[in-house]
Structure formats: structure tokens, C-alpha cells
Amino acid sequence: MKRRNETEVTEFVLTGFSNFPDLQLVLFVVFSLMYLASLSGNVIIMAIIWLNRSLHIPMYFFLSLLSFSESCYTFVIVPNMLVTLLLGRKTISFAGCVTQMFFFIGIACTNCLILIGMGYDRYVAVCHPLHYHLMMNRRVCLQLGASLAVSGFFFSFIETYLVFHLPFYGGNRIDHYFCDVAPVVKLACPPDQNTEVVILALCTIFILGSFLSVILSYFFIFVTVLRIPSAEGKRKAFSTCTSHLIVVIVHFGCASATYLRPISSYIPGKDIMVSIMYTLVTPLLNPIVYSLRNKDIQTALRKLLIKEILNWRTGRIHALVL
């Protein structure tokens, strides 16, 4: 990003929640609790999946990837936001802003692509059950997971380059609590409408393309399920897809509301509220949905807790005997 040496802007000021000076401490406590709940929930899901061999199947491999990606996703944004709320430090360097945007977009895009991978996994499981273990073996899953991450960060590199290739002179107040695309682009001087159109087009292609890919998978799934003669068979087939669909709708709903519109229509107060949805609420929703609706996760968690309690009791008895 050589543009940094050619501009007067060396740092940005994140205005964030400065319009609510009396609520800084309250917001800090609320957001901290949400962040800890999200982080601990996703870590628990990862631990359950990796410690329970019965869950070492493609569906839970992608779920663990999503939980890991969500944990990284919140780590890029939320800690800095909490520091700003608690200490009032609102500046971020030019390089720090570039880095934050790159990783934020990269992980967000990877999340969308992981949802495509999860949809494809369910498509193969329902529509091609006899070839499932061949089409979704360990090697295929690892290669698919790696390609999703590379693709997400490749898109992020293009998007971040387009944003920070713009000229920044004088204005450095970002009306947001992190370096998001729209509020940063609005600081460009002079504005570059061509770049804004390209950014909007790329976001539209990526978000709509990802969403339609998931919907296409579920279209074939629903067609196949409707052909199942027994009601019980239909129920089981649909039950494995419901949780995923809920997460998909929330993810792409938030992404569409934020990025599928002109940058000029950015409204700080309204868009900050939407951003809270996809930086705090959505990562928290993932473990809640999968833990409450997935019987395998519930059973594995129950067994893990029972095992730990028995180990603790055995240790206490052994200590008393000694």
C-alpha cells in the first residue's frame, strides 16, 4: 500500500459510539459479555467436535471450521472496540486500518464460503448417500476447506486494495467503530465513483453468488426429500438442514443489508447497529443454534461433562485415600 507515503493521512479516528458518552461503560459490559459468550460457545463446539471421534465426519468438520472462523472474525474487531469504549483510545494507524479491513473481509468471505461447503456436504449426504464417503472423504474436506479460505482472502485482497488505492487527504474521522468499507471509502478525496461502483459490483457478485449457491444445494435437497415415502425419513432429512439454513439466512441477511447498496447511502447511526448484528450477534447465534437444535452436539457435550465429573470425583476420592 504505497499510497500511505503519498498522503497526509497517517492515522484514522474511529468515532464509534462517541454519540453516547454516558453509555460507554454500559456498552462495554454488554459487548464484553456477548463477546465472551460467543467466544466460549464457539470454542466449546470446536472442543466437542475434536474430542468426540463420532463427530469426525464432514458435516462437523465444516461446523468446526465455521466456529474457528467466527472466533477469529470477532477477534479482529471486538477487542479493539472494547478498548476504545473502556479507555477512550479512538485512533488507529493507516497500516492498522488496512490490516483490520483485510482480515475482517477475508474472514467474513471465508464464513460465507464455509456455508457453501456445508450446503454442498448436505447435498451430497441427502442426494448421493451411497457415494457420500467417497465424495466427502478426509482429503476432499481438507482441500475444500483450504480452498475456501484462500478464495476468501483473495477476494479480501482485491477489495482492500481498491479501498486503500483511493487518495486520502485531510479527513480521517471514520464514522464507525472499525475500518469497514463504506465509512473509509467516504473519506476519499476526491471521491472516485468508478471505484465505488466496482466495489459494489464485486460485493454483489460475491454475496449473491454465495447465497444462490447455498440455495441451489437446498433446492436439490428439497426435491430429493420430497421423494422420500416415509414421513419419518423426511423429518430426519430436514432436521439436519434446519440449523444450517437459519445461520445462512442471518449471515447473508446482514451482509446484504450492509454491502448490497451504494456506499453513498451509508448512514452512521443505522449502519453501526447493523454492524453490531454481524460482528457480535451473528457469531453468538452460531453456537446457540447448533447447540440447541443439534442432538449429536448435545449428546457429545453431555458425555463430555459426565466424563469430566467422573474424573473429578475419582481424583477427589484418590486424594482422600492418600
Assigned C-alpha cell, 247 = 445461520
Q: Residues 99-126: what's their mean pLDDT? A: 92
pTM: 0.86
CB neighbour class for 9 (10 Å; exposed up to 12, middle 13-18, buried from 19): middle
| CA-based nearest residue to 25, from 84, 92, 90, 89 | 84
> pLDDT band at 269, cuts 50/70/90?
low
| Cell numbers for 266 | 451509508
pLDDT at 2 > cutoff 50: no
Nearest to 111 by CA among 244, 275, 237, 202: 244
- Is residue 7 scored above 60 in pLDDT? no
Q: Which residues contact 281 (CB under 8 A, 6 or more apart)?
A: 34
pLDDT digits (tens, 9 = 90+) for 36-80: 999 988 998 888 888 888 888 888 899 899 999 999 999 999 998
The structural domains of the chain, with segments of one domain joined by +, span 7-309
Name the strand (E) or helix (H) holding 85.
Answer: helix 58-87
Express as a percent the part of the chain with pLDDT over 90: 30
Q: Which CATH superfamily is domain 7-309 in?
A: Rhodopsin 7-helix transmembrane proteins (1.20.1070.10)
- Higher per-residue pLDDT: 104 or 190: 104
The larger pLDDT score, comparing residue 246 to residue 34, is at 34
CA distances from 15 to 74, 91, 178, 219 (A): 19, 9, 9, 44
Mean pLDDT, the chain, whole residue set: 83
DSSP 12: E
- Give pLDDT, residue 110: 95
Given pLDDT bands bounded at 50, 70 and 90, which one contains residue 162? very high
pLDDT at res. 236: 67
